[in-house]
Amino acid sequence: MNSITKELTQVTCAIIVDEGKILAALRQRQMSQNWKWEFPGGKIDEGESHEDCIRREIKEELNIHISITGKLTPIIHCCPEKSIELIPFICSIEKGKVNAVDHEKVCWFTPTELKSLNWAEADFNVMQEFFQKHKVDRSTIGGGV
């Protein structure tokens, strides 16, 4: 199937920042792009705003409440099986303690540590924009990619 004729699925993700570290989630083995790191989030339900979606998804996936502090440029990513529009938000924890519900694990990383992770491609692109906007040296995110 041609990527132009594929249905585009809107998905939100959260770059959750806390005390200089960023939360990343490892996809489970039964998920597509298994064992790759991503920013947590999920599909937008019909009639749901992007902001309501990310708040709901993070509550479901991590059992925390978040505050949205910013937004990045949506990224369209085409895979053989589907095409997604990834809508990234920069967030902070409002209340709760992070608990991995839908992922193999979640971890906090410094910007330098993020470069060693095996990222899902769309999320890697989001990470690059995040660090460009926050004036972080590209070498800390695997520069040259």
Q: What is the pLDDT along the chain (145 residues), one digit of tens a residue?
A: 444 456 899 999 999 999 989 999 998 776 566 679 999 999 999 999 999 999 999 999 999 999 999 999 999 988 777 899 999 999 999 999 999 888 889 999 998 898 789 998 889 999 999 988 876 544 433 333 2
* Per-residue confidence (pLDDT) for residue 82, from 0 to 100: 81
Domain ranges of the chain: 8-141
| Ramachandran assignment for 33, one of left (phi > 0), alpha (psi -120 to 50 degrees), beta (any other) | left
Tokens for 53, please give them.
């979606």
* Per-residue confidence (pLDDT) for residue 140, from 0 to 100: 39
* Per-residue confidence (pLDDT) for residue 133, from 0 to 100: 85
* Per-residue confidence (pLDDT) for residue 81, from 0 to 100: 76
* Per-residue confidence (pLDDT) for residue 45, from 0 to 100: 96
Out of 3.40.47.10, 3.30.750.24, 3.40.50.300, 3.90.79.10, which CATH number does the structure's domain 8-141 have? 3.90.79.10
Give yes or no for a contact between 63 and 22, defined as CB atoms under 8 angstroms apart.
no
* Per-residue confidence (pLDDT) for residue 32, from 0 to 100: 60
- Please count the helices (runs of H) and the strands (runs of E) in the chain: 2, 8
Distances (CA, A) of 68 to 16, 90, 93, 133: 9, 6, 9, 16
Q: CB atoms < 10 A from the CB of 57, how many?
A: 23
